[in-house]
Amino acid sequence: MQLSRDQLLSAYRRMRTIREFEERLHVEFLSGTVPGFLHLYSGQEAIAVGICEQLDDDRDYIGSTHRGHGHCIAKGVDVKAMMKEIYCKKNGVCGGKGGSMHIADLDKGMLGANAIVGGAPPLALGAALSAKLLKTGGVAVPFIGDGAANQGTVAESMNMAAVLKLPMVFMFENNGYAEFTAASYATAGSIEARAKAYNIPAVTVDGADFFAVYEAAREAIERARNGGGPSAIEAKAYRFWGHFAGDPQRYRAAGETKELRENHDCLKIFAEKVTQAALLDQAEMNAIDVEVMQLIEDAVAEAKADPQPDPASLYKDVYVSYP
Amino acid sequence: MPIKTYREAINEALRQEMEANDRVIIIGEDVAGGAGGSAGGGEAAGGVMGITAGLATKFGRDRVIDTPITESAIIGMAAGAALTGMRPVAELMFADFIGVCLDQIYNQAAKFRYMFGGKARTPLVVRTMIGAGMGAGPQHSQAIYPMLTMIPGLKVIVPSNAYDAKGLLIQAIRDDDPVIFCEHKSLLGDSCEVPDEPYAIPFGQAAITRKGSDLTLVGISRMVKFCNEVADRLQKDGISIEVIDIRTTSPLDAATILESVKKTGRLVVVDEANPMCSVASEISSIVASDAFDYLDAPIKKVTAPHTPVPASPTLEALYLPTPDKIEVVVRDLLEH
Ligand SMILES: Cc1ncc(C[n+]2csc(CCOP(=O)(O)OP(=O)(O)O)c2C)c(N)n1
Ligand SMILES: [Mg+2]
């Protein structure tokens, strides 16, 4: 499957935007300006972008996780409004009431980051059911960590999706850790094999290789749109930071994250591939980097300057109506 | 007497009960941490807040058991083990995650003894973190003890300080019924005098933390700290407030509250939980029905509003009862 130059540039821009967003947030968090908990997506960009570049805003939905910033950016949520939300400000995507772990934008097909591990897959079933009944041709994609894979909700959702032949792609991101515990300890057997046990077609790909994710996602989305039911993809992923910003990572060998950044950086791998195949020049990507840096710079400045939410908003939107 | 934090007091209670009885085990996510990690698999966390730090190293991973992320199986396994001879202390990291495993608590552990005709003992402890104040957002900040308090068969513990945390947790581990032990995340670093030796505080015995005669302030968990602060402030103006820390919401020590209200004639209940069907409502109803003739003023509640907990620290501060908000209500009621 050959991507056009525009498609390649768009994918690169999104991955770079996620990376810059997260790396900058890490710095800001350590300086104490960001409230709440922060889980960074750096290293996993090719997974979110590899699948979301092929999803539509209006009919396709994703369900996200506590590590959701990358999924949101990949699905087209406004970067500046996201940054304001993470700063819990008035003009954040959720008015400051959700914060980093609850960024949601239903108009962009983004069902929400989620602070409950395993919370999103059943919700994605619902989006897929709506798509099927309303005949939109839409697809629903829950993102699921190696840790989340062990929640009952994930097993229940795979079975239900298979039984009802729902248009879904279960996108597993196996970054080797759930908090401070390794997947090799906590996640028995293989995730791919678990999906196959439900007769769900499943493949394992290298999540640092944008093209591998893209191709697996293309097949799975096509199957879902054509009435072929759910698929699963297990992407091997690389978490460059700790579980949360500020995690001392005592469970990881010294030098592990450095090695990941050297050898499993999806942005480096993407740039090497496209320049070697003479699809893009390094200069074009460098120009994007400059624009992205500026965008993030502006997003942070605007987020810091944005007002606090109105006190009255505390009481608003508990219900649509309540006599 | 040595000064210890709430976090250290809980850790010490666990350690001492594990030393005393080898059937006491800990089960939860990252209660040790580090399993399978590239650093060699040694203990690497001791819980997300470091409360169980050192216990895996001391007692081994057979007794401090790291689990996958699977709360239904964690709580269910602990309940089943409790029914069959162990004394498990399961950790449900944030109390909000009870949504994932409520069946194992509500339909299973809480009902064994009654529905099995008195044959079962379920010495299960579920330790969990409640409360707002850390900007942790709507799914990590709730004070969910009211919905547990209404379940027959459960005991629900809400320690407000390090001394109580140790004594109540030791009682919880020795108790033969299922106990939900609610640790307030904003109290973990608070400290006070805590004896080194093990001691148990019986359930259903409130503590009077300030003696007074003009008005009774009843607090729950972190709110006790705020009530004490208000009592100390008002004392400077010659106002005498009695503060009661209920310590356990089930069993509830109504006698101590009633006795105090009969003396002061005025009651304000301060509760971080949402106001509908709450512990504050329950206490108000008991006093209204059993001490009505002694009341000189209406009963007042200071609670969170009927909304989820917002992520924004600005809104979260508005959401929470504070000493200032309590003081306004108290002064108002004294004028009545
Ligand atoms: C129901 C529930 N249990 C536990 C947690 C605490 N928690 C937050 S993230 C996390 C680890 C998730 O690991 P994984 O699914 O592999 O995602 P990753 O962090 O690697 O992206 C845990 C245990 C939670 N938020 N919700
Ligand atoms: Mg993981």
Report residues whose beta carbon is within 6 angstroms of any ligand 1 atom.
A 65-67, 115-117, 145-148, 175, 177-179, 243; B 29, 69, 71, 93, 97, 100
Of ligand 1's listed atoms, the one at least distance from the Cα of A149 is 15
Residue A1: per-residue pLDDT: 65
Task: Report d(CA B85, CA B121) in Å as an integer.
Answer: 9
A147: three-class secondary structure by DSSP? coil
A65 exposed, middle or buried (CB, 10 Å; 0-12, 13-18, 19+)?
buried
CA of B185 to the centre of ligand 1 (A): 18
B314 touches chain A (CB under 8 A): yes
Residue A215: per-residue pLDDT: 98
Of ligand 1's listed atoms, the one at least distance from the Cα of A144 is 15
- pLDDT exceeding 70 applies to what percent of chain B? 100
Interface contact flag, B139 A256, Cβ < 8 Å: no
Torsion of CA A265, A267, A268, A274, to 10 degrees: 140
Amino acid identity for residue B22 in this structure: D
Residue A2: per-residue pLDDT: 87
Residue A289 Cα, gap to closest chain B Cα (Å): 31
Nearest to B182 by CA among B219, B136, B131, B227: B131
Task: Report d(CA A99, CA A84) in Å as an integer.
Answer: 9
Measured by CA distance, the residue closest to atom 5 of ligand 1 is A117
> Does the annotation count B306 as an active-site position?
no
Of the listed ligands, the closest to the CA of A41 is 1
CA of A253 to the centre of ligand 2 (A): 17
- Average pLDDT, stretch B33-46? 96
- Reported as type and span, the H/E element at residue B217 is strand B215-219
Q: If you average pLDDT over every residue of chain B, what do you get?
A: 98
What ipTM does this complex have? Answer: 0.96
Residue-wise pLDDT tens for chain A (323 aa)? 689 999 999 999 999 999 999 999 999 999 999 999 999 999 999 999 999 999 999 999 999 999 999 999 999 999 999 999 999 999 999 999 999 999 999 999 999 999 999 999 999 999 999 999 999 999 999 999 999 999 999 999 999 999 999 999 999 999 999 999 999 999 999 999 999 999 999 999 999 999 999 999 999 999 999 999 999 999 999 999 999 999 999 999 999 999 999 999 999 999 999 999 999 999 999 999 999 999 999 999 999 999 999 999 999 999 999 99
Q: Is the pLDDT reported for residue B327 higher than 70?
A: yes
Task: Report d(CA A218, CA B212) in Å as an integer.
Answer: 72
Say if CB A18 and CB A232 are below 8 A apart.
Answer: no
Nearest to B90 by CA among B199, B198, B181: B181
- Average pLDDT, stretch B52-69? 98
Place of tokens 């994007």: A288
Task: Report d(CA B48, CA B92) in Å as an integer.
Answer: 11
B138 touches chain A (CB under 8 A): yes
pLDDT, tens only, B118-168: 999 999 999 999 999 999 999 999 999 999 999 999 999 999 999 999 999
Residue environment code for A66-86, b if the CB has 16+ CB neighbours within 10 A, otherwise e? bbbbbbbbbbbbebbbbbbbb
Residue B177: per-residue pLDDT: 98
pLDDT, tens only, A16-37: 999 999 999 999 999 999 999 9
Measured by CA distance, the residue closest to atom 13 of ligand 1 is A178
> Catalytic: which of B140, B184, B306, B336?
B140
Tokens coding A148: 């989340």
Of ligand 1's listed atoms, the one at least distance from the Cα of A39 is 19
Nearest-CB residue to B137 (from A115, A150, A313): A115
Nearest-CB residue to A309 (from B41, B67, B312): B312
pLDDT, tens only, B284-318: 999 999 999 999 999 999 999 999 999 999 999 99
All residues of chain A having their beta carbon less than 8 Å from the beta carbon of residue B135 are: 35-36, 88, 99
Amino acid identity for residue A197 in this structure: A
